[in-house]
Amino acid sequence: MKPSAPLHIRHARPEDAELIAQLIKELAVYEKLENEAVAAPEILKKNLFGERPAAEVLLAEWESETAGFALFFHNFSTFVGKPGLYLEDIFVRERFRGQGIGKALMMELVQIARQRGCGRMEWAVLHWNPARKFYEKLGAVPMSDWVVYRLTEDKMQRLQ
């Protein structure tokens, strides 16, 4: 399904920090992780648009209303010898689902990855998330041999 003319995808700007924080909160509610979403607009502004941006955000607008977002950054594959595009989060607000917005965001990310010479795109998905079927239709495959590990900020502080 190809989205119609009312859809516009753009790169976020510093003045979008509050909107991005709101979208992150909505995503956290969807993922049942509300307590983990602590990113405040000023933190996002510094880390997304500051001296050394750590990630980028695409905003999807449907008839001038924010419909969703994708937050991504670059990683590097030692085996491929090229940068990769890592999709940290993609989210479409419930009332906008079924319009092709998620697919349009993914296709925009694919274009960015191609333009930047990326060797691959990767992302993690919760086991229960029905979007897994959507990703597999695009040709993505789950990496079942790999286990994701995480050190949180407080755990890193303890490793002195």
What are the domain boundaries of the chain? 7-158
In whole numbers, what is the pLDDT of the chain averaged over residues?
94
Nearest to 58 by CA among 100, 25, 104: 104
Confidence (pLDDT) at 95: 96
What region does 28 belong to: left with phi over 0, alpha with psi -120 to 50, or beta?
alpha
pLDDT, tens only, 56-104 = 999 999 999 999 999 999 999 999 999 999 999 999 999 999 999 999 9
Buried b (16+ CB within 10 A) or exposed e, 51-82: eeeeebbbbbbbeeebbbbbbbeeeeeeeeee
Residues whose CB falls within 8 Å of the CB of residue 55, separated by 6 or more in sequence, listed in order: 47, 48, 71, 72, 73, 88
Confidence (pLDDT) at 148: 86
Confidence (pLDDT) at 152: 86
Confidence (pLDDT) at 150: 87
- How far is 47 from 65, CA to CA, in rounded Å? 25
Catalytic-role residue among 30, 86, 135, 149:
135
Q: Which CATH class is domain 7-158?
A: alpha beta
pTM of the model: 0.91
The larger pLDDT score, comparing residue 4 to residue 57, is at: 57
Q: Look at residue 5 and tell me whether its pLDDT is greater than 70.
A: no
User: Known catalytic residue: 149?
Assistant: no
